[in-house]
């Protein structure tokens, strides 16, 4: 999208540039929503509870500034950090993480909860 946007900018096609920009923004927003939903599923957190938590945090100016700063630093790190690992290494790391997650799940499943989990 950025390459296409740059081409349109150089061609001085303002209408095309704005349309491309809007498409990029829509794709970005859909991506963020999908990532948030998947992250909530992964940690077994209801999306509505997550939204209420975000709303409460955003009302506090200091917390909002800290979250915004952390978000910006993560985005910068993701944008500028190339993936240097091989596909095989990434798959092995994922398998290892999955094994640890399953061990934790089995341990938690054996616990007796006095209140709801």
Query: pLDDT (tens digit, 9 = 90+) per residue, 3-22?
Result: 888 888 889 888 888 898 89
Residue 17 falls within a domain, yes or no?
yes
Is the pLDDT assigned to residue 49 strictly greater than 90? no
Residue 117 falls within a domain, yes or no?
no
The reply to whether 3 and 22 lie within a common domain is yes
Which of 10, 2, 62 has the alpha carbon at shortest distance from 27? Answer: 2
pLDDT of residue 115: 59
Separation between Cα atoms, residue 1 and residue 79, nearest integer Å: 15
Instruction: Give the DSSP H or E segment for 58.
Output: helix 47-59
In three-state secondary structure terms, 107 is helix
The reply to whether 1 and 34 lie within a common domain is yes
The reply to whether 32 and 19 lie within a common domain is yes
Is the pLDDT assigned to residue 27 strictly greater than 70? yes
The reply to whether 74 and 95 lie within a common domain is no
The reply to whether 35 and 50 lie within a common domain is no
Q: How many domains does the chain have?
A: 3
- Domain extent, residue 18, equals 1-45
pLDDT of residue 105: 82
How far CA 46 is from CA of 39, 42, 58, in Å, comes to 10, 10, 19
The reply to whether 28 and 62 lie within a common domain is no
Residue 116 falls within a domain, yes or no?
no
Is the pLDDT assigned to residue 117 strictly greater than 60? no
What tens digit of pLDDT does each residue of 58-114 get? 888 898 899 889 989 988 887 777 888 899 999 999 999 989 888 888 887 777 665
């Amino acid at each position: 999208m950025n390459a296409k946007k740059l081409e349109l900018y150089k061609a001085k096609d303002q209408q095309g540039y704005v349309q491309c920009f809007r498409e990029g923004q829509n794709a970005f927003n859909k991506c963020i929503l999908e990532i948030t939903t998947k992250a909530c599923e992964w940690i077994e957190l209801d999306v509505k509870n997550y939204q209420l938590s975000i709303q409460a945090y955003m009302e506090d100016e200091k917390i909002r500034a800290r979250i915004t700063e952390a978000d910006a630093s993560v985005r910068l790190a993701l944008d500028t950090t190339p993936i240097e690992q091989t596909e095989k290494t990434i798959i092995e790391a994922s398998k290892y993480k999955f094994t640890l997650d399953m061990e934790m799940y089995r341990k938690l499943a054996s616990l007796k909860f006095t209140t709801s989990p």
